[in-house]
Structure 1
Amino acid sequence: MPNQFALDVTKIRDDARRRMQEGPVTATYGGDTNPVLDILNQVVATEIVCYLRYIQNSIAAAGIDRAQVAAEFKEHAAEELQHGLRAAERINQLGGVPDFDPGTLARRAHTEYSAPAATDLDTMLRENLVAERIVISSYQEIIRWLGDSDPTTRRLMEDILEEEEEHANDLTDLLGVQG
């Protein structure tokens, strides 16, 4: 039978014992962890910046639909924070150190943080939708870049991407934007 599956369990066992200090990063890891760690720290920064923007917007929002939109912003903020923490946990698993340095967060983030001059909901919704669209495109590119080299990080990014797409859909619904 062509392309038959073969596994050298003895070699895997020996390697697992010899390189225990590397934790979950085994010899079968598909690439170099350093660029993955860098990308994941960019994800952490992006998610923290998004969290901060959503929280600020939830507090500063004004207008007749404030309660509904502020509640949505708070929900999105909580999810963005969880995304950042999940990426930070993955960095730790890969032997890196998550970077939460407030002095460099904005520089490393894919989205921008700008507190709106206006408190109107339409402006906030539009700016958050733009940010979600940036994140969606960035994360799709990261997933393609990871390919099969790191299936765990790829699945993490796919899970986060799915929630980011839900955020964009929620914002689109709130804006009443037609596709």
Structure 2
Amino acid sequence: MANDKTSAHGKPATPSEQKTLELNEEAIRKAGTIDLDEGAVTPGYGPYREAIVKLLNQALATELVCVLRYRRHYFTAEGLASPAIAAEFLEHANEELAHADKIAERIVQLGGSPNFNPATLLEHSHADYDECTDLKGMLRANLVAERIAVESYRQMVELIGDKDPTTRRLLEGVLAEEEEHADEISDWLQR
């Protein structure tokens, strides 16, 4: 096994083979002192910031549509199993709202403007609103929406990669919760 001082063959590494983990102090100082009105956003964010804000606004719209769908289902669920399922809908609605808040906060941190415009939510959302009246239809609509969210977040995480580690970690956390939601709804559908 090679280290910083030896090559893969156990021989002394040439200077070009030696790897160092050193920060670029000049770039750090420069990033800290230019464009102070940008807040936490340093030049290292590069040309992707606007595209990331656009992705986050789509995620925000999706979360808000999901909040509305879950809350409608919470209030309109009827049937023998409805109290337990309705409680699950309310819990998911609250968690989706927490996701929306985190996403909106990140948009602002990146210097963007979170889009809460009700007139455009469905246009920007990946998931649909639903007006089912039966429990099974509600569960199915919510499972479809959760699976759409899972795939959307998975793709966003992949696209963002190392371009914005803070946003990537945020989205990975939301993705894990969306997967949990999908599992819970799937369990209800199989009962």
TM interval, short-chain normalised: over 0.9
Aligned counterpart, 2:124: 108
Are 1:33 and 2:20 an aligned pair?
no
Q: Choose 1 or 2 for highest CA Rg.
A: 2
Task: Give the alignment partner of residue 67 of structure 1, picking from 78, 83, 106.
Answer: 83
Are 1:169 and 2:178 an aligned pair?
no
Aligned counterpart, 1:95: 111
Are 1:18 and 2:34 an aligned pair?
yes
Task: Output one character per residue of 1:33-92: Cα deviation in whole Å (capped at 9) or x when no partner.
Answer: 111010000000000000000000000010001100000000000000111111000000
Counterparts of 2:183 and 2:165, CA distance in 1: 27
Q: RCO (CA 8 Å, sep 6+): is it higher in 1 or 2? A: 1
SS, match of residue 104 in structure 1? helix
Counterparts of 1:83 and 1:31, CA distance in 2: 25
Task: Output one character per residue of 1:73-122: Cα deviation in whole Å (capped at 9) or x when no partner.
Answer: 00000000111111000000000010000000000000011212xx2211
Task: Count the aligned residue pairs.
Answer: 175
Post-superposition, which runs of at least 4 consecutive aligned residues in structure 1 deviate over 3 A? Answer: none
> Contact between 1:31 and 1:149, CA under 8 Å: does it hold in 2?
no
SS, match of residue 114 in structure 1? coil
Q: Give the alignment's Cα RMSD to 1 decimal.
A: 1.2
Compute the TM-score of the two structures, normalised by the length of structure 2.
Answer: 0.88
Gap runs ≥5 in structure 2: 5-17
Compute the TM-score of the two structures, normalised by the length of structure 1.
Answer: 0.94
Gap runs ≥5 in structure 1: none
After TM superposition, the structure 1 = structure 2 runs for residues 123-138 of structure 1, keeping only pairs within 5 Å, are: 123-138=137-152
